[in-house]
Amino acid sequence: MSDKKVVFSGVQPTGNVHLGNYLGAFKNWVDKQDEKVNYFCVVDLHSLTVPQDPDELRHQTRSLTAWLIAVGLDPNKVTLFVQSHVRAHAEGCWLLNCVTPLGWLHRMTQYKDKAAKQESVLTGLLDYPVLMAGDIIFYDADEVPVGEDQKQHVELTRDIANRFNHLYGQDFFVVPEPVIPEVGARVMGLDNPNAKMSKSSAHIRGHAVRLEDDPKEILRSFKKAKTDSFGEIAFSKDPERAGVNNLLGIYKAITDKSFEDVEADFRDARGYGDLKVGVAEVVIDAIRPLQENYNRLMNDPAELDRVLAQGAQQAAAVSNPKVDAMKEIMGLIVPNA
Ligand code: AMP
Ligand code: TRP
């Protein structure tokens, strides 16, 4: 067995993939794909916890998979798959439901926030973190790279893994650690630099740069970006200057330059207009080849299906036996075991 760390992360196919997803998550996954054993999952079952249009969900599942490959994930290096293609996830979730106290789920802040906004709350929404826990522990994952908002769910995953190990008297599950990127990895909304760029606000013009936006649209969004009246192009922690800081942060993440070099690039700028155009240009140049890759993949559904079948097979080979072993431990008869 390899002693490389196992990494698992998931992302919902809810559309509007944006620069924050790319710089805060996907780009890091690509950069680290040679170091560890990686599983990246398009979590379509999680998306069903709120009502979805069936055709749209299918489209978004393919689209997100294509984006993940387009930005550089190599399906021959990582296991890239769709959650519902591997039976362990939904099946194992039931088994975990039967060791997870309801009170733990009622305490989840994301559930409370989401439920408060809905008239009729689905059981799946409450159960969402148990499904997520299974995603992670059925692969013996050591590390879970996620945004701050998912930290509580990974902590719950640890509690569930520990409880199962305690109840059944074995070190059956690996207890995973959340890996949260530094604050610098957060891309903020261009229209409101004090709120993070998010899929749910991506329909608001000038909020997000979506990976599918054309160059004109990207330039327009940056030109409208909120700045301040200080007139100084420098990194800053001052909330009043968050807009300029965000623009510089995007430029830094795209170009992989140091703080000093980023500021030096704008030393001769004639104000924020130059800054906005400068940032827009590096973003447009970085996104163009990704869009070409994306379009090529979306025009070749057979190739996408082949990649997904390969990913599902690799994932199933790990998680299905794990869930079968759980069944056995919990007292179920596993056929042909
Ligand atoms: P979501 O868009 O919430 O489905 O998140 C998918 C992935 O992108 C997660 O790993 C998030 O942490 C990351 N992510 C989402 N929005 C941002 C953002 N504005 N800045 C940095 N990372 C983000
Ligand atoms: N709940 C996560 C989100 O909405 C997505 C997710 C599902 C996930 N399963 C996971 C993330 C397992 C990390 C590991 O962003």
Per-residue pLDDT of 34-86, as tens digits, reads 999 999 999 999 999 999 999 999 999 999 999 999 999 999 999 999 999 99
Q: Do 21 and 63 belong to one domain? A: yes
pLDDT tens figures, 169-199 = 789 999 999 998 775 578 999 999 999 999 9
Nearest ligand, measured from the Cα of 192: 1
Mean pLDDT, residues 314-332 = 97
Does a structural domain hold residue 191? no
Pocket of ligand 1 (CB under 6 A): 11-12, 20-21, 24-25, 146-147, 185-187, 196-199
Q: Do 289 and 140 belong to one domain? A: no
**Residue 132 Cα distances to 209, 249, 276, 288, angstroms:** 28, 31, 39, 33
Q: What is the DSSP letter of 184?
A: G
Phi, psi for residue 82 in degrees, rounded to 5: -100, 130
The token duo for 217 is 């649209």
Pairing of the two strands 37-42 and 177-179: unpaired
Q: Do 284 and 317 belong to one domain? A: no
Q: Which atom of ligand 2 is nearest to the CA of 149?
A: 15
Q: What is the largest CA-CA distance in the chain?
A: 73
Q: Which atom of ligand 1 is nearest to the CA of 14?
A: 4
- Rounded CA gap, 287 and 19, in Å? 9
Q: Are 143 and 29 in contact (CB under 8 A)?
A: no
Q: Do 15 and 163 belong to one domain? A: yes
Give the residues across from 8 on adjacent strands: 39
Domain count, the chain: 2
For residue 29, give the CATH number of its domain. Answer: 3.40.50.620
Does the predicted model carry a pTM greater than 0.85? Answer: yes
Phi, psi for residue 38 in degrees, rounded to 5: -115, 135
pLDDT at 122 over 80: yes
Range of the domain at 277: 215-295
CB atoms within 10 A of CB 22: 24
pLDDT tens figures, 244-268 = 999 999 999 999 999 999 999 999 9
Residue in the structure block whose two tokens are 């160059």? 215
Nearest ligand, measured from the Cα of 211: 1
